Chain A
Amino acid sequence: MSHVTTRSRGTARHFQQRYGYAFIAIPLFLFLVFTAVPVVLALGTGFTNYSVIGRAKWIGLANFRRLLADPFFGVALRNTLVYTAMYVPAGLLVALGCALVLNLKHRGVTVYRVFFYIPVVASTVASATMWYWLLNPTHGVINVVLGWFGVNGPAWLYSSRWAMTAIVMMSVWATFGTNMMLFLAGLQYIPRDLHEAAMIDGAGVIRRFWHVTWPGLRRTTFFVLLLLIIGAMQVFDQAYVLTQGGPGNSTITVVYYIYTPGFGDLRMGYASAMSFVLAVIILVFSVLSNRLTGHDLEAAS
């Protein structure tokens, strides 16, 4: 009797093996074609002069050398860093602040949650188009409202000084909801007793935030910071819709610049070299943000 059971269990396991592989076959194939091979290709193409039509020739570091001398790339990189330097802290603070507001238990909080989150639902292109109108220097609501307070609003998208700031404002508005929800979920994991104990010790709101909430959110903060940095360094849609890189190249970003020679003129080798540099910068920033939040990845996993 026991012999029979073991045998049937054995065949079941054998079946499971085969079905297991069959079930993951297509995703695994797509992973190979669209993740594994691309990563290798991305590394290789940057060292060639590949241009889709014609054969690729290995040209060593020539693309990277040209990149160093390319003033446009320098401008694009600087603009991307400026965008990141504004967008990441602003995005983090707004998301965290709104999560803290929504974490207080008041009647109607779920309705407010929907209101806070709704910009996320519209696409970046749609949000950018809405803001294109809000930011109009003479008729846009933002300058009209600033005018009520006696402030003469700038020309925003038509001013090389303010265009990037305008794009940051629009981007924070459009995306903070996702990160806010992550913070809100993170706040649920902080034990209530910690807050209560701190309250009994006489700690005020600010001290409780620094000693209980902020350390308790460390994991979430790291994750949000990572998402923000990765998103910021690859900013494209907003710049494409709002300013097309202008005025005076003040909003040309790296991905925007990859897009133009890469897919406009099909200079794939050169564009690949740029992607590679950007990916390395993203990696460096991710590691830095890990240090910054003092988050130990190994301990977490």
Chain B
Amino acid sequence: MRVKHARVRAAAWYVAATLISVVTVFPLVWTVLTSVRPESEILSAGFRFLPRALTLDNYRIAFREVPFPRYLLNSLILGTGGTLLNLVLGSLAGYAFARLAFRFREQLFWLLISAMMVPGVITMIPWFLILHGVPLVGGNDLLGRGGVGLINTFWAVILPGAAGPFATFMMRQQFGSVDGAFAEAARLDGAGEFRIFARIYLPLVKPGLAVLAILTFQAGWNNFLWPLIVLNTADMMPIQVGLAVFRQQYETAYGPLMAGTLIACVPVILIFVFFQRWIIEGATSAAIK
């Protein structure tokens, strides 16, 4: 009787979990299927799961109408630039807060972390004004007047988040949780502080760096509102802005739209599939602690 009860419950669990999975995965599958379906079939009446005929026309149209390679390259530059800066600055700061003794260490740490509590809507306009007023670039004079500063440059997208509080927070956890006995020995042998950081500690936190890199890259790749605000020439646009414009210009071209959507999310989905365990665990552990 008990065994039977347990079996019924297990079966119910699989049914529920499968139903939820259908809801979460179906839109992606449907996007793939629509992207390879001929246009006549997409807008025909009746529902067919698998396409009657396969075609790459939608991709051809998408690439013809929209400079996707350029947009992909822009997103790659923005994502990689932001990620590298966060890795370098986040590990330097995280290491200092976890391993070095200096005055006001705790206070300064919490000050930097407090940036997480400031909603984006508050910083949005000031960021624009600050980047607009950076002296001696973009036609600006010494006082930051006359030109546009860093607006419409990749720096405008990268700089505000170059040392994200999340990176500092996560790397402090990482450096704090490794064994420091080695380093003390090296320190007594007269090794310099930077050497201790770079040669002894940094290799120990490689897994943490990898998770941080993936999460930062994903966030940068998917960023939309801020690039939309500060970039205003077409060939500077990242893929998300390009896709949004495409969607507004081609309201009913569902096939090419789905092709474009896939182009915009395939890189991050591939990264996710390969590193999913790290991503899921890293994302939550940092938030929970």
Chain A positions within 8 Å of B, measured between CB atoms, are: 8, 12-13, 15-17, 19-21, 23-24, 26-28, 30-31, 33-35, 37-39, 41-42, 45, 50, 52, 98, 101-102, 104, 106, 109, 112-119, 121-134, 136, 139, 141, 144, 173, 177-178, 181-182, 184-186, 220, 223, 230, 233-234, 236-237, 240-241, 244, 254-255, 258-259, 262-263, 268, 271-272, 275-276, 278-279, 282
Which residues of A have CB within 8 Å of B20?
98, 101, 112, 115-116
Q: Is the CB of B30 within 8 A of A20?
A: no
When the two chains form their complex, are residues A129 and B247 in contact, meaning their CB atoms are under 8 A apart?
yes
Contact in complex: B108, A24 (CB < 8 Å): yes
Interface 0/1 of B33-68, CB less than 8 Å to A: 010000000110001000000000000000000000
Question: Could you jot down 27 A-B contacts, CB within 8 Å?
Answer: A13-B101, A20-B100, A23-B95, A30-B159, A34-B127, A34-B159, A35-B115, A42-B123, A98-B20, A106-B17, A114-B280, A119-B28, A125-B247, A129-B258, A130-B261, A133-B30, A134-B27, A141-B30, A144-B47, A173-B23, A241-B244, A255-B225, A259-B229, A262-B125, A268-B128, A275-B122, A278-B119
A98 to B18, alpha carbons, bound, how many Å? 12
Nearest A residue to B271 via CB reads A121
Known: A19-B100, A20-B100. A41 touches B28 (CB 8 A): no
Q: Which residues of B contact A276 (CB under 8 A)?
A: 122
Please tell me if the beta carbons of B283 and A178 are within 8 angstroms of each other in the complex: yes
Knowing A15-B193, A121-B265, A123-B265, say if A20 contacts B96 (CB, 8 Å): yes
- B96–A275 touching, CB < 8 Å: no
Q: Determine if B24 and A38 form an interchain contact, defined as CB atoms under 8 angstroms apart.
A: no
Contact B130 A39 (CB under 8 A): no
* CB proximity to A under 8 Å, residues B9-27: 10, 13-14, 16-17, 20-21, 23-27
Chain B, interface SS category = helix
**B97 → chain A closest CB, angstroms:** 7
Contact of B28 among A28, A38, A98, A122 (CB under 8 A): A122
Question: In the assembled complex, which residues on chain B have CB atoms less than 8 Å from the CB atom of A24?
Answer: 92-93, 96-97, 108, 112
Cβ B122 vs Cβ A279 within 8 A: yes
Distance (Å) between the CB of A220 and the closest chain B CB? 8
A20 touches B24 (CB 8 A): no
Docked complex Cα distance between A3 and B73 (Å): 60
Contact of B13 among A101, A116, A184, A220 (CB under 8 A): A101
| Interchain nearest-CB distance for A167 vs B (Å) | 14
Q: For B244, list chain A residues within 8 Å (CB).
A: 125, 240-241
Tell me if B272 and A41 are in contact (CB < 8 A). Answer: no
- Given A31-B111, A122-B269, A125-B244: A114 and B276 interface contact (C-beta under 8 Å): yes
Nearest CB on A from B170, distance (A): 13
Residues of B within 8 A of A184 (CB): 284
Across the interface, which residues of A come within 8 angstroms of B284, CB to CB? 181-182, 184-185
Closest 8 CB pairs of A and B: A20-B102, A38-B126, A123-B222, A23-B96, A27-B163, A115-B21, A41-B126, A20-B100
Contact partner of B162 (CB less than 8 A), chosen from A30, A126, A181, A185, is A30
Q: Tell me how far the C-beta of B17 lies from the nearest C-beta in chain A, rounded to whole angstroms.
A: 5
Q: Say whether B125 contacts A45, CB under 8 Å.
A: yes
Contacts A20-B102, A116-B24; A133 near B31 (Cβ below 8 A):
yes
B247: nearest residue on chain A (CB-CB)?
A: A129
Contact of B27 among A8, A38, A131 (CB under 8 A): A131
Complex interface: chain A residues within 8 A of B130 (CB): 33-34, 37-38, 41
Question: Whose C-beta in chain B lies nearest to the C-beta of A8?
Answer: B188
Interchain CB contact under 8 A, B28 and A30:
no
> Known interface pairs A17-B101, A38-B127. Does A123 touch B268 (Cβ–Cβ under 8 Å)?
yes
Q: Which residues of A contact B155 (CB under 8 A)?
A: none
B209 an interface residue at 8 Å Cβ cutoff?
no
Q: Looking at the assembled complex, report how far the CB atom of B257 sits from the nearest CB atom of chain A, in whole angstroms.
A: 6
Within 8 A of A (CB), among B262-286: 264-265, 268-269, 272, 276, 280, 283-285
Which residue, of B27, B28, B159, has the highest number of chain A Cβ atoms within 10 A? B27
A277 to B31, CA, bound (A): 39
Given A24-B96, A28-B108, A130-B30; A34-B288 close (CB under 8 Å): no
CB-CB under 8 A from B112, the residues of chain A are 24, 27-28, 31
Q: Mark B117-141, 1 if CB is under 8 A from A, else 0.
A: 0111111111111101000000000
A26 touches B264 (CB 8 A): no
A240 to B124, CA, bound (A): 17
Best-surrounded residue of A41, A133, A136 (most CB of chain B within 10 A): A133
Asked whether A104 lies within 8 Å of B13 as measured between CB atoms, the reply is yes
Give the residue of A19, A104, A122 whose beta carbon is less than 8 angstroms from that of B194.
Answer: A19
Query: In the complex, what distance in Å separates the CA atom of A73 from the CA atom of B259?
Result: 36
Nearest CB to that of B263 among chain A residues? A126
Please give, as numbers and ranges, the residues of chain B lying within 8 Å of A30 by CB-CB distance. Answer: 89, 159-160, 162-163
Q: Which of B23, B92, B129, B229 contacts A52 (CB 8 A)?
A: B129
* Cβ contact within 8 Å between A185 and B221: no
**CB closest residue in chain A, given B25:** A115
Rounded to whole angstroms, the CA-CA distance of A41 and B118 in the bound complex is 13
> In the complex the two chains form, is A16's CB within 8 Å of B102's CB?
yes
Complex CA–CA separation, A292 to B219 (angstroms)? 31
Pick the residue among A116, A123, A131, A240 that contacts B21 (CB under 8 A). A116
Instruction: Answer whether residue B173 sits at the interface, using C-beta atoms and an 8 A cutoff.
Output: no
CB within 8 A of B288: which of A112, A132, A182, A268?
A: A182
